[in-house]
Amino acid sequence: MPAKSVCVYCGSRAGALPEYAAAAQDLGRALANEGWRLVYGAGDVGLMGEVARAAQAEGGETFGVIPAHLVAWEVGKTDLTRYVVTETMHERKKVMFMNADAVVVLPGGAGSLDELFEALTWRQLGLHDKPLVMLNVQSYWDPLRALVDHVVDQGFADASLGGFLTWADTPVAAMATLRDALS
């Protein structure tokens, strides 16, 4: 049976708290130690760089996907197991998602939200059943959780929407969720 691949959406910045980088590093190490491939946005900056370097340090396989216009900005990490340069952001998201068995979302900004909401929308429409795990480091994603509840409460989505997201406060909890879902 081939090894699993986990797509990690996360910030190209480090964020305000050191716990964000620590969680990215812990997740990268855990994925590698589980024998799972990291799929991510191929940057060597921010949380993207942290998760990838940690996975590599543990001998993990890494698959990075970056659009040509971001290679300089996000410092494309060319020493990955597999490094793919796409033409567009949309193509990047598609290649990342299609090459993963599950998604974990670390703290991040608009790009991470864009990636998450596309995957969440596809799940809502029945286009996939991949696990979507929110790594809620230091309660970072609490406002998003409240927003999803609000969307449901106001009648703009079925109650099932919130159930498509699994919440984990630590990388250890995220890995336990992934093990259960991917076994």
Q: Which of 134, 127, 125 is nearest to 167 (CA)?
A: 134
Other CB atoms within a 10 A radius of the CB of residue 176 amount to 12
Read off the pLDDT of each residue in 132-148 and give the average, rounded to a whole number.
Answer: 98
Q: Which residues pair with 64 in a beta bridge?
A: 40, 83
φ, ψ for residue 128, nearest 5 deg: -160, 170
Other CB atoms within a 10 A radius of the CB of residue 147 amount to 11
Q: Domain 5-177: give its CATH code.
A: 3.40.50.450
Other CB atoms within a 10 A radius of the CB of residue 63 amount to 21
Q: Tell me how far apart the alpha carbons of residues 162 and 60 are, in angstroms, rounded to a whole number.
A: 32
Helix H or strand E segment including 49: helix 46-57
Q: In which band, very low, low, confident or very high, does the pLDDT at 1 lie, cut at 50, 70 and 90?
A: low
Other CB atoms within a 10 A radius of the CB of residue 182 amount to 15
Q: Which residues pair with 134 in a beta bridge?
A: 105, 167
In the sheet that holds 102-105, the strands lie side by side as 82-86, 62-67, 37-40, 5-9, 102-105, 132-135, 165-168
Q: Which of 116, 100, 7, 113 is nearest to 51 (CA)?
A: 7
* pLDDT tens per residue across span 42-96: 999 999 999 999 999 999 999 999 999 999 888 899 999 999 999 999 999 999 9
Other CB atoms within a 10 A radius of the CB of residue 29 amount to 19
pTM of the entire structure?
0.97
* pLDDT tens per residue across span 146-165: 999 999 999 999 999 999 99
Q: Which residues pair with 39 in a beta bridge?
A: 7, 63
Q: Tell me how far apart the alpha carbons of residues 62 and 133 are, in angstroms, rounded to a whole number.
A: 19
Q: What is the model's pLDDT at position 177?
A: 98
